[in-house]
Structure 1
Amino acid sequence: MLKRRTGRSGSTAVTDLSSHSIRGVVEQEIPWRVWTVPNALSLLRLLGIPLYLWLLLSHHDVWAFWVLVVSSFTDWADGKIARRYNLTSRVGQLLDPLADRLYIIATIVGLAIRSIIPWWLVVLLLAREVFVFSFGPSLRAHRLPIPAVHFSGKAATLCLVVGFPLVLLGATDLPFATLANWVGWGFVWWGTALYWFAGFLYAIQIRRMIAAVS
């Protein structure tokens, strides 16, 4: 579809709004860069998942807590570095949320196995992941990229990656365990609500993207 646009000089320009041009612009905006510092941090976060699970299931709770803290720091750092030094890449857009989701899944499953959190909370959070991933076939069918992470999704992830380590500390014999447990659950409830809210926003965003190229 062609749309005519009149400039300040009175000349008329023609803008291509076809589905092919929209896909082309989207695909060309973000490069496929693999070897970047943000991607390395995301990979480091992925490699820390089995270490965290081993520590948690071996009842080394304090060490497991620190692994989660380091993971949370790398999650913040990779985005900060990518934006600061213009190192955003499509690989990073795939790798970063993948690392976040796998860490959250590993965290909640491990905590549930230890009976620190209820299994219904695990089901609630995993159901959100299934809901989001269910849009994958539609994106592939229309050759559309994965949408950028919404602010509410980042806020939800932040709440969860702060809350669950505190809940883990609440299960220890440390003097401040009770306080950590209360604060941790506060973050977890807010994070869970925002997680689902972000999922619905994601669905709306995908629907609009599909409508734009249909």
Structure 2
Amino acid sequence: MAAAEVPIVSSRVLTLPNVLSALRLALVPVFLVLLVRGADAWALLVLLVASLTDYLDGVIARRFNQITRLGQLLDPAADRLYIFAALLGLAWRDLVPWWIVLIVIGRDVFLLGLGIVLANHGYGPLPVNLLGKAATFCLFYALPLIMLGQAFPMLGWWSLPIGWAFGIWGAFLYWWAGIIYAFETARVIRLPRVIAPIRSDTIDG
């Protein structure tokens, strides 16, 4: 059985997947303005376009070997920004409580602090765990479902309860994953660092 090929990650900047990711990022303020103004149907359309570009840039990057370091940064950044924009827009209109906004944003601030601790000890960011992916999945689907119920009230009887279920569960998992990251950070920074021995013939004197 042939071993699975490891994708090559390049340092290129100008690739079609990166252009699509940049477009998705550029649509974040458009999405937020539409949401704040109550144009939920148009905001959902922008979110749909963003989701399609997210799918396409992943397919193109894998199919044509265009996986880049920049793309690996832009993709999760765009996901986070859409979640934040949706939370802020809905909270601004009193459609979701501000405590949910504080829980989600506070968790990412917490992870930023963990990243600084790791960097000070010479380590890069920790890999994303499955629990963190599940939390992001829940939030990424919860907010559009809540928006759907606002844009089309006749659908609210099912989209709002499901959206809130995803949202509350996602917020819980978000912090659960954050606590796991904290324990993992504590474990990693306690690992003994391997220091290369100094050769006697390189010492002056």
* In 2: Cα distance, 1:206 partner to 1:87 partner: 31
1:101 paired to 2:63 = no
- Residue identity over aligned pairs, in percent, reads 45
Cα deviations by residue, 1:171-204 (Å, 9 ceiling, x for unpaired): 2343112211111111112221222222233334
Aligned counterpart, 2:146: 167
* In 2: Cα distance, 1:118 partner to 1:128 partner: 16
Cα deviations by residue, 1:138-171 (Å, 9 ceiling, x for unpaired): 2332443333332322222221111101111222
Cα deviations by residue, 1:34-76 (Å, 9 ceiling, x for unpaired): 2334333322221111110111122111111122233234334
> CA 1:90–1:210 in 2, change beyond 3 Å: closer, same or farther?
farther
Q: Is residue 68–residue 161 contact of structure 1 (8 Å, CA) maintained in 2?
A: no
Q: Is residue 69–residue 165 contact of structure 1 (8 Å, CA) maintained in 2?
A: no
Aligned counterpart, 2:123: 144
* In 2: Cα distance, 1:184 partner to 1:107 partner: 13
Q: 1:181 aligns with which of 157, 160, 168?
A: 160
Q: Counterpart amino acid of 1:57?
A: V
* In 1: Cα distance, 2:124 partner to 2:67 partner: 14
Q: Which moved more, 1:175-184 or 1:32-41?
A: 32-41
> CA 1:38–1:71 in 2, change beyond 3 Å: closer, same or farther?
same
Q: Structure 2: 5+ residue runs without aligned partners?
A: 1-7, 194-205
1:190 paired to 2:190 = no
* In 1: Cα distance, 2:122 partner to 2:192 partner: 10
Q: Secondary structure at the match of 1:171?
A: helix
Q: Which moved more, 1:63-72 or 1:33-42?
A: 33-42
TM-score by length of 1: 0.74
Q: Is residue 159–residue 188 contact of structure 1 (8 Å, CA) maintained in 2?
A: yes
> CA 1:50–1:178 in 2, change beyond 3 Å: closer, same or farther?
same
> CA 1:206–1:31 in 2, change beyond 3 Å: closer, same or farther?
farther
* In 1: Cα distance, 2:103 partner to 2:143 partner: 15
Q: Secondary structure at the match of 2:94?
A: coil
TM-score by length of 2: 0.77
* In 1: Cα distance, 2:92 partner to 2:162 partner: 22
* In 2: Cα distance, 1:91 partner to 1:208 partner: 29
Aligned counterpart, 1:22: none
Q: Secondary structure at the match of 2:151?
A: coil
Q: Secondary structure at the match of 1:175?
A: helix
Aligned counterpart, 2:90: 111
* In 2: Cα distance, 1:110 partner to 1:119 partner: 11
Q: Counterpart amino acid of 1:35?
A: L
Q: Which moved more, 1:154-163 or 1:84-93?
A: 84-93
Q: What count of residue pairs does the alignment treat as equivalent?
A: 186
Q: Structure 1: 5+ residue runs without aligned partners?
A: 1-28
* In 2: Cα distance, 1:38 partner to 1:137 partner: 29
Q: Is residue 10–residue 66 contact of structure 2 (8 Å, CA) maintained in 1?
A: no
1:61 paired to 2:3 = no
Aligned counterpart, 1:43: 22
